[in-house]
Amino acid sequence: MSVLADQILEEILKPSDTSGKDFAWKVILINCDCHTFDEVERQLLKAIRCTLSRARQIAWEVHTRGASVIYSGPRERCEAVAAVLEDIRLVVQVTK
């Protein structure tokens, strides 16, 4: 991972006010050069059931920033989203 990606990931992982809610979990997609935009977009469509336009926006953000929070919600749902993304070996992290 690049230095910029490390900095962005560090910023994303900063603790946030969870207010005791179980919806404080998030899925972070980390950029890698081993997948095409089409592959990432297709997997995002499956994982978070977003529009193609939103999938393209997310893929571009991950590509340019190095990492991005692509979903937040309850832990179980975040783990399910991560599992779909990991099916094609995308690099993800589930964190609070």
- Write a three-state SS string for 48-89: HCCCHHHHHHHHHHHHHHCEEEEEEECHHHHHHHHHHHHCCC
| Domain range summary for the chain, segments of one domain joined by + | 3-95
Q: Give pLDDT, residue 18.
A: 47
Q: Give pLDDT, residue 53.
A: 97
Query: In which residue ranges of the chain is pLDDT below 70?
Result: 1-22
- Write the CATH number of the domain with boundaries 3-95: 3.30.1390.10
Q: Give pLDDT, residue 23.
A: 72
Tell me the whole-structure pTM to 2 decimals: 0.78
